[in-house]
Structure 1
């Protein structure tokens, strides 16, 4: 693995908050564009009579497709600086795209929420912040954009800061940064702005390059869901048996005593191998093959952990679910397929405790179903036990997806609150 780490971040904002311009600006100022892309944008800007190179055009090709009724889930963009590689999940901001935001933010290390300095904190800004806290995105950056349109006013910025921090105090946000920017002019994007001498913090890119994400990984609870059993078919290697997968959390070392679930057998790790050869230890998000001292019957969907630190082995699961299906709502008594780490099971919805209003955080306990983009707390009973942690403790072993068995479409995303 290279030493340059990867930061995944999701962007969210209301329409016309300048999200496309911001992403365009980051790509442009970090020289992550091809010459022909830039020339095309310059030509279209000139043809439209814009007095500037309209960087929003770099991502606006997607908007045209969206207007034609093609739903775009999440657009991913990539760029790199000498310090870090970046993956941007560009998620639509409308309330009808809550599911897209859930998809984009569920794997993000950081979320960027944009607000327009002229409009201040809107209902959508609150919703985006709530979703980020619910999805346990470790770092949140509020970008107060279009500062050039409020004459770079410190008062306007500070009012937005007060309003947002008051709201964020009700949520579980571990790390919040607020940066005043002008995406159009490039102020505080890559370099510090001279127009806002009162702001003493870093530029956005500097923050993205230096935000500390190594400690966000859970290195305490060893969780290794088995994806595949490696049994080479060659005649020379007869006794090789390895278990391949991605380390979800914790640190695995050769010589460690481990517990295999759901069978409950204990054994020792004899070696850990990667594509580049043997390693002494493995940690998230490494993909490795683990070899064990004893021959135990292990198959896909099983989980390797430490004997005194195991997840719940549970068939009754309480979870927050974001519903993603336009055609059929989630209803009590309905049966679905469920995919949790490398395990597949079937589940029945036993109860719907409440529907959550994402804007007011109000709980409606009279709800009978969950429609598209709605979030609620449900109780599920599964056919085989899930090897599960609470989502707040482990995003990998605490998250699952719900699949409609007839159409095979993903219809919901769940976060485990409690596994009994």
Structure 2
């Protein structure tokens, strides 16, 4: 099991995300003394009798003045058992795009639900995003259990509501636990106030989750970011050097492996793997390395190096599920840029097949997609790309839609319609 776990927190407004993250950091002793002293000072200035742990994540003064968190705040902390990278996402519906950003690289999404409110529209939306992005684990924290006197029946009702909604989106293995972020119940240590709950605390659960799968079980995918060919190397050994730099998106590459280069389809063999001046025998996701090949092939940024035994097919027609992130609506006929790995091509939105109704979990007919909508589209590309279904390969199954005029990100997309396959039109 990897010691690094990437997690993202999400939830509706005022569900207590920032307080939960602050409690997690404080009770796990991941907060420096001067940081906590600053939080205590600000808390006293606000007339509070105790430290407001939410301030540990609300890093910007403007956010504190508004009393909300409006962007993804990344935090790093570690326990004796593993290291964490945490993305604290905002709760407002207009910032769902930030949740997509935070969850896109997560191993686990920690979704908060206020036990007094139960399942909300934003809860369904965040569950849909986690399902859409194929986040490996989803943990639902039923928060503020202290405000209902730690009632088991109330927790059980909310837990069943959320797990039923998750099952309708194709997520059968969602885990729930009762928590009071304010009081610290079941966050780092198990609480005496919930004797009816015999599961782990949140931290214990996170420490035991698996992160990435076995790299050997995945096909090699290596998007080329840069061709390295020194023009005036002082060392003669590097005067004829030609390497292809990038990050291993999936799988393992070893010296001697046969590979295929796409879109050209040329084949060759890996003769060297370099990283920071050292030669490696192998590299695996997500390492950044430089590959040297046996043959002098015309390779440039945007090409994909894949295992010769399982190269992806090229296509100019993409059926995709997208989360629309722009303020203006998407309509058929729109011309955009599609970024896939390190390659960017022109694309035309041919049709919009439908929009996901989060309450009914149904794909409704739609002519447009608006901000935060999740829908299905058909795209025609100006050049072929090695796209694969997202359910099979997250690295080559993901793409972005970009505004060709100003370079802003319009949508996060996944090849295929696996999420919408659980819905009906």
- Give the TM-score normalised by structure 1: 0.93
Distance (Å, rounded) in 2 between the aligned partners of 1:287 and 1:31: 32
Tell me how many residue pairs correspond in the alignment: 415
Name which of structure 1's ranges 206-215 and 20-29 shifts more when overlaid on structure 2. 206-215
1:368 is matched with which residue? 367
Q: Is the 8 A contact 1:219 1:249 kept in 2?
A: no
Counterpart-to-counterpart distance in 2, 1:65 and 1:368? 36
1:71 & 1:334 partners in 2: Cα distance?
33
Pairwise CA distance, 1:283: 1.2
More moved, 56-65 vs 5-14: 56-65
1:416 is aligned to 2:407: no
Query: Which residue is equivalent to 2:174?
Result: 176
Tell me the residue number matched to 1:407: 406
Within-5 A mapping of 1:12-411 = 12-62=10-60, 64-65=62-63, 72-173=70-171, 175-215=173-213, 219-233=217-231, 234-235=233-234, 236=236, 237-275=238-276, 277-326=278-327, 328-365=328-365, 367-411=366-410
SS in 1 for 2:206: helix
**Separation in structure 2 between the aligned mates of residue 359 and residue 241 of structure 1, nearest angstrom:** 54
> By how many angstroms is 1:112 displaced?
0.5
**Structure 1 residues 51 and 193, CA gap change in structure 2 (3 angstroms):** same
Give RMSD over aligned pairs.
Answer: 2.3
Output one character per residue of 1:202-245: Cα deviation in whole Å (capped at 9) or x when no partner: 11111112211132768321111111111123151222111111
Q: Is the 8 A contact 2:168 2:361 kept in 1?
A: no
- C-alpha distance 146-63 of structure 1, shift in aligned 2 (>3 A): farther
Distance 1:381 1:280, change over 3 A: same
Q: Deviations over 1:264-293 (max 9, x none)?
A: 111111121212612222111111111111
How far apart are the structure 1 equivalents of 2:152 and 2:82? 31
Unaligned residue ranges in structure 2 (runs of 5+): 418-425
CA shift, 1:180, in A, is 1.1
> CA 1:117–1:63 in structure 2 vs 1: closer, same or farther (change >3 Å)?
farther
Measured after TM superposition, the shift of residue 253 of structure 1 is 1.2
- Structure 1 residues 112 and 244: CA distance shift in structure 2, 3 A: same
Other structure's SS at 1:378 match: strand
| C-alpha separation in 2, matches of 1:123 and 1:255 | 52
**1:63, distance to aligned residue in structure 2 (A):** 8.4
Structure 1 unaligned residues grouped into runs of 5+: none
How far apart in 1 are the matches of 2:313 and 2:172? 26
Give yes or no for contact 2:141–2:177 (8 Å, CA) kept in 1: yes
Counterparts in 2 of 1:163 and 1:176: CA distance versus 1, 3 Å: same
Deviation at 1:35, TM superposition (A): 2.0
Could you say what secondary structure the match of 2:177 adopts?
strand
